[in-house]
Structure 1
């Protein structure tokens, strides 16, 4: 007797293959994938600058800041889809990481940086491990003048992110503080990492 089983399998495979080719031709592509994805909709979310969920308005810059996680994973600072600071770039360190100047354990470096800021300059800060031990009253006041509402409360091993500007008239809306609390800490001795993203007006970057 002629084996019917294998023949049926071959017929089914040929039928499926021809159907798939025909569908591809009718949908306008050789294998059917591109047009089918268009019809069904791409399930992947659209990615905007710095990973934002929606695009920024005109005359705004996209940003994303992420604090360090405990004393293991360093912070990240992204502006207009360009990663300016991260562990991969190897330009971050423990303490306060601020844009354009790498971190230092010496608070005098931070003070010199803050004093030299021109009117309208954007300042982005992300903590790593411990942001407060080296801070003094002068540094806290300068950061408050840049628009920080929480700088007076930043303490040992808190996680803190902040975006402000020299000459800002009101308190910045871009700030997050997670307090170090042994009852709520995600990591042993440290709270969870804090993430901040948004769109900042270009006018804050207009220097004198």
Structure 2
């Protein structure tokens, strides 16, 4: 019973100390402060085509290809901010995914998936 008073004081001191450390980390010190808090509330906007980290030079086509994960997530092929092949468009499959594109205009001519595991290599050999 007589121990409850000192335990409350110790708990109060620990709580105040942890609060002080948290405030110091978030609001003060080098590299800390308001920008660290603001990063939780700001969202980065995509600036460049196909989600590239930097812009492509003039007279070049922006291109990005993302590999899939086994047979769970299919690959994605993007050209000039247009998704050519993806699981959403349902034009990808297991194996080799190829998109035939006009190199001047960037127009998609044909997109196919070749299942090399099942022996679909007869498309490549006469």
Normalised by the length of structure 1, the TM-score is 0.32
Tell me, in whole angstroms, the C-alpha distance in 2 between the residues paired with 1:61 and 1:93.
25
Structure 1 residues 87 and 43: CA distance shift in structure 2, 3 A: closer
Q: Which structure has the larger Rg?
A: 2
Gaps of 5+ in 1: 1-41, 116-208
Q: 1:83: how far off?
A: 0.1
Q: In structure 2, the residue corresponding to 1:102 is in which secondary structure?
A: strand
Q: Who is 1:66 aligned against?
A: 66
Instruction: Give the aligned length.
Output: 71
RMSD (Å) for aligned C-alpha atoms: 2.1
User: Where does residue 121 of structure 2 map in the other structure?
Assistant: 107
Distance 1:77 1:46 in 2: 17
In the alignment, is the contact (CA less than 8 A) between 2:85 and 2:111 conserved in 1? Answer: no
**1:55 and 2:55 correspond:** yes
After TM superposition, give the deviation of residue 46 of structure 1 in Å. 4.2
Aligned to 1:84: 84
TM-score (norm 2): 0.51
Is 1:75 the counterpart of 2:64 in the alignment? no
* Structure 1 runs, 4 residues or longer, greater than 4 Å off: none
**Distance (Å, rounded) in 2 between the aligned partners of 1:92 and 1:43:** 31
| 3-state SS of 2:113 partner | coil
Show structure 2 runs of 5+ residues with no match: 1-41, 100-109
Q: CA deviation at 1:107?
A: 0.7
Equivalents in 2 of 1:44, 1:104: separation in Å? Answer: 37
Deviation of 1:43 after TM superposition, in Å, equals: 5.8
Sort the Cα spacing of 1:97 and 1:45 in 2 relative to 1 into closer, same or farther, 3 A. Answer: same
Listed one character per residue, the Cα deviations across residues 38-86 of structure 1 (whole Å, up to 9, x for unaligned) are: xxxx762442100112111101010110111121000000001000000
